[in-house]
Amino acid sequence: MSEQSPHPGRVLVVDDTLGNLKVLANLLGEEGYDVRPVSSGRQALEAVERNLPDLILLDVNMPGMDGYEVCRRLRETEHARTVPVIFVTAWLDRAYMVKAFEVGGTDYVTKPFLFEEVLARVKTHIALKRTRDALAERDARVRELEELLSTRGLK
């Protein structure tokens, strides 16, 4: 990664409808994102275990394990807890949207979606995650320095 043009990010796209998967993967790929498309909740959890994405676009209505359960399981794991999850679904009912946030979703986009809207949300949430991660690293370094100063009697 060059400092002038950092890689836009790794996006896991989860949808059981092949057409939706292809559209999102192709469009995000054209924008420079490293996109991993998977077609089930189980595959999504396995993909996250192998290679943590910067963001997940997650369909709600999938057979076997729905998007809500996938998100709930992600939030229970230490390594994936902070990965932004944007739900992408055709369900317009506010109750579904509220449930998405209750299980740990970061954002919610309805189908049919405008790609410009999805792209803007992806960019925003990846930038926010990178900022949070950088702040967490800085805070950890500050705590280490404080401990070092304390153990040397300089604090």
Q: What is the CATH number of the domain that holds 126?
A: 3.40.50.2300
Q: Find where tokens 């153990």 sit.
A: 151
Domain assignment of residue 104, yes or no: yes
Domain assignment of residue 5, yes or no: no
Pairing of strands 10-14, 55-59: parallel
Q: What is the pTM of this model?
A: 0.85
Domain that holds residue 44: 10-151
Closest by alpha carbon to 61, among 84, 91, 85? 91
| pLDDT tens sequence across 36-84 | 999 999 999 999 999 999 999 999 999 999 999 999 999 999 989 999 9
Residue 144 CA to its chain's centroid (Å) = 29
Number of domains making up the chain: 1
Domain assignment of residue 127, yes or no: yes
Contact 47, 57 (CB under 8 A): no
